[in-house]
Structure 1
Amino acid sequence: MKIVCFGDSLTRGVSFVKGRMRILKENYPSFLQQFASEHFTVINKGVFNDNSDLLLSRVEKDVIAEHPDYVIINIGGNDCNFKWDEVAEQPEVEHQPIVPIERYIENIKQLIYRIQETNSIPVLMTLPPLDPVRYYKLLAKTYGSSISHWISLQGGIEHWHGLYNRSLNSLAEQLNVLKIDVRSAMEHSGDLNDYISDDGIHLTREGYKTMSSEVFTSLIKNVTISAS
């Protein structure tokens, strides 16, 4: 049984430690491989800073060519983000998310259809929770305080993050696609301060382990993989 983990830096295993980005060897696909090494092979196809546009552009090479049984799609955090340098330069004008929500949902649909065409099974993962306070602090440090007013008028990044996540949940129901709700699992399993790294977006080792545990549990429960 082969599983491709397809997504952005949260799939790749990026964390923010002591003021810099680093890639953790113990990321969610590697934990998933440890949890069930005898039952399936896990391939990490996460790329830093990817969004759903970019996933569509590489689905043939990184997913279809692997002939997986299951494809776990984890994308959206960069889609609902903004070009903060442009916001800082013009905080009084309107700005759109990097991938507007209508295109984001259409991209996910196309990914699902393409994967299903090849007789692989797509699995949607919800967006993990974030820490907006730590994220805002990093943004202010990087781009200056001029973005703060603009962010407040938009309802905060958690507004967009939650909106994209809710739309993803609705799409999973609409298309009857298996969904793994890592967002709820992480919110209910412990202190998010232990799971989210210093930038407020990426995860710690413990965060990735908790994410992977929910993925493994859901797979065992919902698909034809034996846990014994």
Structure 2
Amino acid sequence: MQRHGDQLVKGGIALLQFGGNDCDFNWAAISRDPAADHLPQVPLKDFIQQYKLLIQRLSDLGYQPLVLNLPPLIQDRFFATVSKGLAADTILEWLGGTTDSIYYWHQSYSDAVEQMALKAKLPLIDIRTVFEGEPQVEDLVCEDGIHPNEKGHALIARTLKAYR
């Protein structure tokens, strides 16, 4: 908003979907020194604070924020992507021996988004449940394991269209 605020048209709906990249870690640093303290790109507490501020700024500009939670990631695919060329065994050990922790960490940001929408009485589109309701959710996500692919974006578009 700081970079493009002067280009925004007052009023209307503002779609918000953040968190997937915010909850990511510096996997190379974890690979080099798993015993060190490692924080995500944006710690959850800061993420919540910044998200609330964004909601407030948009509301002050006359926008109706419409919040989307995060589509699920495919943890094994994501792990393969972030550990490529790194010490995957070391990273997996840091994760507690399972890629499930990646899924649940990512979900914690999605849950935080849901709670913020609920507390602020904002409309929430539960895109996570929509994705998870598909028989082959992995077919909706890019090879990187986290970003929706063309089919995933089409599902998001259909869901948004149905919301209207």
TM-score, length of structure 1 as denominator length: 0.66
What is the alpha-carbon distance in structure 2 between the residues aligned to residue 63 and residue 180 of structure 1?
A: 25
- Tell me, which stretches of 5 or more residues in structure 1 are unaligned? 1-58, 221-228
Between 60-69 and 188-197, the greater mean CA deviation after superposition: 60-69
- TM-score normalised per structure 2: 0.90
- The separation in 2 between residues aligned to 1:60 and 1:83, in whole angstroms, is 26
Structure 2 equivalent of residue 149 of structure 1:
93
Q: Is the CA contact 1:172–1:179 (under 8 Å) kept in the aligned structure 2?
A: yes
CA distance in 1, matches of 2:26, 2:63: 34
Match of 1:189 in 2: 134
Q: 1:80 to 1:141 in 2, by over 3 A?
A: same
Alignment coverage as a number of residue pairs? 161
SS at match of 2:84: helix
For residues 64 and 116 of structure 1, the distance between their equivalents in structure 2, rounded to whole angstroms, comes to 16
* Percent pairwise identity: 25
Tell me by how many angstroms 1:131 deviates: 0.3
Residue 90 of structure 1, CA deviation: 0.5
Task: Report if aligned partners of 1:131, 1:200 keep a CA contact under 8 Å in 2.
Answer: yes
Shift of 1:81: 0.8
The Cα RMSD (Å) is 1.7
User: Structure 2: 5+ residue runs without aligned partners?
Assistant: none
Q: What's 1:129 paired with?
A: 72
1:80 matched to 2:49: no
Q: Which of 179, 192, 196 pairs up with 2:124?
A: 179
**Does residue 216 of structure 1 match 2:156?**
no
CA distance in 2, matches of 1:126, 1:142: 31
- 2:107 pairs with 1:162: yes
